[in-house]
Amino acid sequence: MHDLVIRNARIVDGSGTPAYNGDVAIDGATITAVGGRQGAARREIDADGLLLAPGWVDVHTHYDGQATWDPLLTPSCWHGVTTTVMGNCGVGFAPAAPARRDWLIGLMEGVEDIPGSALAEGIAWNWETFPEYLDALEHTPRAMDIAAQVPHGAVRAYVMGERAVTDVAASDDERAAMAVIVAEAVAAGAVGFSTSRTVLHRSVDGELVPGTEADASELLAIARAMGEQGGAVFEVASDLAPESAELGWMDRIIDETGCRVTYACVQNDEDPLQWRRLLEHAARRGGGMYPQVAIRPPGVLMCLDGTHPFTGRPGYLELAHLPLAERAARLRSPEVRARILEEAGPHPARLLRLLFMEGKAMRSTIRDYDRLFVLGDPPEYEPAPSRSIAAIAAARGIAPEAAAYDALLENHGTAFLYSPLFNYNAGNYDAAREMMLHPNSILGISDGGAHCGIICDAGAPTYLLAHFVRDRTRGPRMGLEQAVRMQTHDTARLYGFHDRGLVAPGKRADLNLIDLDALAMPLPQMVYDLPAAGQRLIQRAQGYQATLVAGEVTFERGESTGALPGRLVRRARC
């Protein structure tokens, strides 16, 4: 008798082959039979009309701190994610000398917009080395599996101290010391190493992430140390141009060490076809290089409880302390509205400066209100030009700032404005779709756990199915089987997770049972549920009937069952 049988499912197994109907039998944490009619079980789930797919494997998150206090890892858990990789972009919390803990928090706060007060209160710091950090993670029960990469910023700071944040080259001894730390981390179970090479990533003090300007000899020394441990993933956040020397050392890492390299690949307005050249370079290599592309093009969300075009104006600041309902009511006053709009002066500042006036490291490619949209309810992330604030303002015969002001007050002040920062040069997601479908790309950049005040993309796996498979009208869609494969089998294989990502006998029973017709994403919410009442944007999902990890149902219809079968996935045990 099986422990669990899921009956009559439409099975999309993650391989990319056509879906088929049948049962799936599970014993313990393992899938034991797939297809046909399976025998009796201690528990049965009737999946008639439902899609059964592997659990999503999200390779780009920033739960490095949250994973030490939150067993669920919200919001990713609501979106069918069963395995997540953190430690991206060169930032994290190990190794951590006691005197550098606050500095590491400031680095994460600046780069990933996670409230420093929440990190300071939530992290227990019962480690110093990276192996000790992994041990601490392993001892925490959780609802999903996690895997960790060792971050360059923390490693460099541990070895070089104050010199780490300068552009000075590491000495031979310092490079050797960093290589030893990374080798020990990989031997202990780190699934990769990450570094930041972008000037957009800065601490709360404005300092670049340590390693941003590290030379190729330092990066190669670290990669060789990983290669001696059998190889791992080398993740890069980079201002990468196809013609730059950056690709040269990445090629050497692949050729000389056996490590796999993945880096962010998005469309930017300054060079709208750069992404295509990056993908062409990866294709010419034939393997080892995986440009990481976004499912939902990265974009900023604006609301009255977050950042918006009026955040710093004196008239607004006088009301900012009020509860949202009262604040919205006051903002509707014609006198208050007129005053706040007039405070822009004769030449209103551009959104580029307004959005990040508080010193956020991220920089927008927004140039005007034609790239700012009313998100709507249900939210529309591929909006037509007619939904832009500029178009709405023109139709009403008012200034764009006035239209933005009025839009923020809709739905009792809970409305959102949305601006896609990347992958929207043509005003649609055709480029994003092409990136995703490229044979060398890998899905990522969801940034789960990060950018708490302005971005909420942890629901990207849900969006892939709901929008690009089922609902898209402003361009071609993609096949269900291909979409599932890309965020299960492909992402799992990048990090060597060979025991998951497929619905097949012998594989780990990490599964999603989905009502595809009902799959939806409600509006994001601004909540204050981090430690120290820290603020963050969250977004739930509808349509997930059940999520299983290691054969246990962890979520039913969006609610936790209390089961915590998740574990730390160490590289040596993948």
Which CATH fold topology does 58-298+424-500 show? TIM Barrel (3.20.20)
Spatial separation of the C-alpha atoms in residues 433 and 425, rounded to whole Å = 13
Under DSSP, the state recorded for 448 is B
Backbone angles phi, psi at 42, to 5 degrees: -65, -30
Q: Which pLDDT does position 348 carry in this prediction?
A: 55
Q: Which pLDDT does position 173 carry in this prediction?
A: 97
Predicted confidence (pLDDT) per residue in 32-90, tens digit: 999 999 999 999 999 999 999 999 999 999 999 999 999 999 999 999 999 999 999 99
Question: How crowded is the C-beta side of 419, counted as CA atoms within 13 Å?
Answer: 25
Backbone angles phi, psi at 547, to 5 degrees: -125, 135
Spatial separation of the C-alpha atoms in residues 462 and 20, rounded to whole Å = 21
Whole-Å CA distances, 278 to 216, 263, 269, 285, 442: 19, 10, 15, 11, 13
Contact (Cβ atoms closer than 8 angstroms) between residue 53 and residue 480: no
Whole-Å CA distances, 145 to 65, 193, 265, 489: 15, 18, 26, 16
Question: How crowded is the C-beta side of 180, counted as CA atoms within 13 Å?
Answer: 9
Under DSSP, the state recorded for 360 is -
**Enclosing H/E stretch for 151:** strand 145-151
Predicted confidence (pLDDT) per residue in 441-477, tens digit: 999 999 999 999 999 999 999 999 999 999 999 999 9
Question: In sequence order, which residues have a C-beta less than 8 Å from that of residue 203 and are 6 or more positions away?
Answer: 103, 106, 107, 109, 110, 111, 165, 209
Q: Which pLDDT does position 345 carry in this prediction?
A: 67
Tokens 């140390």, located at residue: 225
Spatial separation of the C-alpha atoms in residues 426 and 509, rounded to whole Å = 41
Q: Which pLDDT does position 572 carry in this prediction?
A: 66
Partner residues linked to 551 by β-bridges: none
What is the secondary structure of 505-555 as a DSSP string?
A: TTSB--EEEE-GGG-B----EEEEEEGGGEEEEE---B-EEEEEETTEEEE
| Closest by CA position to 531, among listed 452, 440, 467 | 452
Whole-Å CA distances, 24 to 2, 28, 506, 507: 10, 13, 12, 12
How many Cβ atoms from other residues are within 10 Å of residue 102's Cβ? 12
Contact (Cβ atoms closer than 8 angstroms) between residue 416 and residue 525: no
Q: Which two tokens stand for residue 96?
A: 């951590």
**Extents of the domains making up the chain:** 58-298+424-500, 301-420
Q: Which two tokens stand for residue 569?
A: 């996935």
Predicted confidence (pLDDT) per residue in 276-305, tens digit: 999 999 999 989 999 999 998 888 999 999
Q: Which two tokens stand for residue 55?
A: 């659990």
Residues of the chain with pLDDT under 70: 241-243, 345-367, 572-574
Spatial separation of the C-alpha atoms in residues 475 and 430, rounded to whole Å = 7
Q: Which pLDDT does position 262 carry in this prediction?
A: 97
Q: Which pLDDT does position 165 carry in this prediction?
A: 86
3-state secondary structure of 7: strand
Partner residues linked to 299 by β-bridges: 420
